[in-house]
Amino acid sequence: MNIVRSVHIRCAGAALLLSASVAAAPTLEVTKPGAPPAALLAAVAPAARGAVAQAWSEARQADALASRPVACDGRHPHGVRYHVQRLQAFEGARSSFPRAVNNLGIVVGYSSVGGLGRPTVWIGRRGFELATLGGRYGVAEDINDAGVIVGIGTTADSASRGMSWFLGARRNLGTLDGADTASHAYGVNNLGKIVGIGMLPDRSASRAVAWRGGAPRQATLGGSSTAYGVNDFGYSVGSSRTAGPDSQEHAALWRPDGSVQDLGTLGGRLSIAYSINNKGKAVGYAYRLGETRLTAALWEQGAASELPGLGGRTSVANDINNRDQAVGFATTADEVDRGIIWFGKTPVQLDTLLDDESQGLQISRAEAINDRGQIAAQRNIDVVTIEPLLLTPRPCRYE
């Protein structure tokens, strides 16, 4: 059985604040500027390492060109436009789906081959397949700045396991109590803490879990739960069903000590948080009172608020960086999905911020954003073909 997000389109509780004694996020040296991270070279097959090194060199050159200042006008009040890099699928893959981007601009996700997902890492434009645990299915969900990749892979007997890739080692993250059930890793921070979901040994429900150098540990508000994102201080967010006969799925915050906090909703019966930054701000979506449409939500300092959309019925925030820029997607007034970035609480359709070289591309959704402002996104080529994209911000030059 594969454990996947129940909603793949990626509230007032007590204060969502980090301890005042924590002054800054931990830092981690990742690589020398001119060399590809050792973790990447070791993660792929030996025969592909030369190609990875070449792709890294090409990516650095392309990044320098993509980052040059660009002329702007009054249509770009936020001082930025984006250069779009179209990421290539490896041979045999029809559609590819980005899931995360780290601060080096390395994108991870999965590619569809014969109807099955294959974990994928993109170095610059080039996509490379990652090995699973011996099975045919896998997804790379997140990558940290040291090159630790986490996700899910199947074993030779088709069991689904949370797994990690680092320095050539594929690690089976295991299951709750070592049972023959399933697990799935969704997020990893820069200190190596991994979060996700694991099924209970009796298969009656699932639990949010955290891995930190050992077996997964679980936490819940009472019912099934999932952790999707974790910041560098060890705070993680996701969702959990509440206890009692009127059980509801609510956004949840797990503290480093293992305690869990119900973040509530926007008045409705459902909310999910997908990402939390190092300032303690979290994003996701929630229902309003009496509604069942998805509304992008922001949780900060103990309060939940709506992130405005693009005039349609649906919006979802998938990720937030440490500059408080959030990304996701929203439907327009004619109910078409478009990738979106929120500068604070101001929504901007990404299509309107592309540089002259990237005009004409339509961004259907944005999945992740790094601290530099690079965005992992996708566009729909046709009803069955998805193309992954990397958007690099170009600072405005006013003339």
User: How high is the pLDDT of residue 39?
Assistant: 63
Burial of 191 (0-12, 13-18, 19+ CB in 10 A): middle
Tell how strand 183-188 and strand 169-172 pair up. unpaired
For the chain, the domains span 38-397
Q: What DSSP line would sit under 241-296, residue for residue?
A: EESSTT--EEEEEE-TTS-EEEEE-BEEEEEEEEEE-TTS-EEEEEEETT--S-EE
Q: Give the 3-state secondary structure of residue 192.
A: coil
Q: Which residue bears the tokens 């007997």?
A: 157
CATH superfamily entry for domain 38-397 = TolB, C-terminal domain (2.120.10.30)
Residues 41/53, Cβ–Cβ less than 8 Å: yes
Q: Which residue bears the tokens 């014969």?
A: 114
Nearest partner of 249 among 226, 229, 230, 228, judged by Cα: 226
* Sign of the torsion angle spanned by Cα atoms 376, 382, 383, 384: negative
- Token pair belonging to 195: 């979060």
Largest Cα–Cα separation, the chain: 66
Burial of 348 (0-12, 13-18, 19+ CB in 10 A): middle
pLDDT in tens, the chain (399 residues): 344 343 333 333 333 333 222 233 333 333 344 555 666 655 665 656 677 777 777 777 777 777 788 888 777 778 899 999 999 888 788 899 999 999 999 999 999 998 899 999 998 888 989 989 999 999 999 999 988 999 999 999 999 999 999 866 889 999 988 889 999 999 999 999 999 999 999 998 899 999 977 778 887 777 899 999 999 999 999 999 988 778 899 999 999 988 899 999 999 999 999 999 999 999 999 999 988 889 999 999 878 999 999 999 999 999 999 999 999 999 999 999 999 999 989 999 999 999 988 888 999 999 999 999 999 999 998 878 899 999 999 988 876
Name 64's Cβ contacts closer than 8 Å, sequence gap at least 6.
Answer: none
| CA–CA separation, 61 and 166 (whole Å) | 25
| CA–CA separation, 240 and 138 (whole Å) | 25
| CA–CA separation, 40 and 27 (whole Å) | 20
User: How high is the pLDDT of residue 37?
Assistant: 62
User: How high is the pLDDT of residue 13?
Assistant: 30
